[in-house]
Amino acid sequence: MRCLPIFRTILASVIWLCLPAVCLADDPPDIDPRLLIEDGPEDIIFSGWLDETQTSLSDTITDMSTNIDQFLSLEDDEEPMVNESYLRIRIKPSYTHRDYFNFDSSVSLRMDLPHTEKDWKLIFETDPEDYGSLEDKERGLVDTTRTENKGAIGGVRLESRQFGEWYADFDVGLKLRLPLDPFVRAQFRRVDRLVDGWTSLVRQEVFYYHRKGPGSVTSADFYYTLEPAELTILRIGSSAQFLDNDHNWQFVNLAEVYDRISNRNLFTYSIGMSANSRPDLSVENAWLSFSWQRRLHKDWLYMKLTPTVNFQEEYDYKANPGLLAEIELYFTKNRQFNQLYRSIPKP
């Protein structure tokens, strides 16, 4: 595979340099001092207006979901339950030296139905990511403006069904784009404690859209930390995706270090490569990136900046520097979000 020996050398070097960051202290405290650091006042000036807007929309989403839940499943002798529905909005402009400027956005709605017997949830997503590139999924870069990702979906989800050591989610619904396209999805996952402080997370996802056919994603991630507070975590992952509509396998290998430097800031260092099986097995891209994620206001407004350098096959592996930005907003009344939180998966 072209460029593979060089990239393996780079990957090994970066992981070797990152490992000391995971092992900074022989006897770390139970509460890391970094979590006690506050970085001054809120970043947003017009917080009063923002808070009123966020509260109003959050109340509307929760009330609407609660009314649906009570209409469908509330019994006369049951007490009202907490509803954790939420709306997420992402705005993602980006620029690279060879691709120039791109703008993307997405909306995701989760409606909680706590009174249903089997924990069903209503789901609504604009431009789902199922048929996106595996590399973009793993890096959180899925471009919903592409044709294969366009079209909102609506349906219901059965969450966290347990089968032995495995947990599963099941989705069924329609892609809301004429002609309507029914789909089903299932995701299975399990967590295991390994030797010497390592933890593994194995996931298997399968999906089927009537118009595009089946697809699957298989992934295995390995996590390591020496800090009880888990503020510096190493993740090494490998994944494979098959899409029947183009008969292509995609592979991704990556290493990331998450470094929570304060209550309001998270740094992520990433290195990886992706490959395709068609027309011939070859490296599609190799990358180095650093991201800074910051909580701008309370627990519902976040910013992320990611300088990155890609070495893509389509540009003969010449360096392609770029900058990605992201604004993320959450609207919910009863659910707490901490987008800076990273932890070792628990069995």
pLDDT confidence of residue 140:
81
Q: What is the DSSP string of 17-50?
A: HHHHHHT--SS--SS-GGGG---SS-S-S-HHHH
Percent of the chain scoring above 70 in pLDDT = 81
Instruction: Please return the burial class of 100, using the count of CB atoms within 10 Å of its CB with bins 0-12, 13-18 and 19+.
Output: exposed
The answer on pLDDT for 25 being more than 60 is no
CB 23 within 8 A of CB 226: yes
What pLDDT is stored for residue 159 in this prediction?
Answer: 83
> Mapping DSSP to helix (H, G, I), strand (E, B) and coil, where does residue 69 land?
helix
Question: What per-residue confidence (pLDDT) applies to 327?
Answer: 95
Q: What is the pLDDT of residue 100?
A: 85
Amino acid at 270: S
Between strands 213-224 and 232-243, the pairing is: antiparallel
Confidence of residue 29 (pLDDT cuts 50, 70, 90): very low
Q: What is the CB neighbour count within 10 angstroms for residue 28?
A: 17
Q: What sign for the dihedral angle of Cα 16, 219, 108, 74?
A: negative
Angle at 310 between CA 199 and CA 313, to 5 degrees: 105
- Coil, helix or strand at residue 16: helix
pLDDT, mean of residues 91-99: 91
Q: By the 8 A CB rule, do 36 and 261 touch?
A: no
Weakest-pLDDT range from 126-130, 204-208, 272-276, 324-328: 126-130
**Tokens representing residue 44 in the block:** 């947003």
**DSSP per-residue letters across 95-147:** EETTTEEEEEEEEEEEEE-TTSTT-EEEEEESS-STTS-HHHHHHT---TTSG
Q: For residues 210-217, give the mean pLDDT.
A: 92
Ordered DSSP codes for 233-250: EEEEEEEEEEETTTTEEE
What pLDDT, on a 0 to 100 scale, did the predictor assign at position 245? 85
Query: 125-163 burial, b for 16+ CB within 10 Å, e for fewer?
Result: bbbbbbbbbbbbbbbebbbbeeebbebbbebebbeeeee
Residue type for position 187: Q
Q: What is the mean pLDDT of the chain?
A: 83
Ranking 65-69, 146-150, 193-197, 273-277 by mean pLDDT, the lowest is: 146-150
Q: Which residue bears the tokens 């199922």?
A: 130
Convert the pLDDT of each residue in 229-265 to its tens digit.
889 999 999 999 999 888 899 999 999 999 999 999 9
Query: Does position 115 have pLDDT exceeding 80, yes or no?
Result: no
Question: Higher-confidence residue: 236 or 7?
Answer: 236
pLDDT band at 347 (very low <50, low <70, confident <90, very high): confident
The arithmetic mean of pLDDT across residues 147-169, rounded, is 82
Query: What is the C-alpha separation between 112 and 165, in angstroms, rounded?
Result: 25
- Taking the C-alpha atoms of residue 158 and residue 152, their distance in angstroms, rounded to an integer, is 19
Mean pLDDT of the 314-339 span: 92
Phi, psi of 69 (to 5 degrees): -60, -45
Residue of 240 and 63 predicted with greater confidence = 240
pLDDT for 47: 64
Between residues 2 and 151, the one the model is more confident about: 151
21's CB contacts (< 8 A; 6+ apart) are: 232, 257, 259
Interval 274-281 mean pLDDT: 90
pLDDT score for 323: 96
- % pLDDT > 90, the chain: 47
3-state secondary structure 215-230: EEEEEEEEEECCCCCC
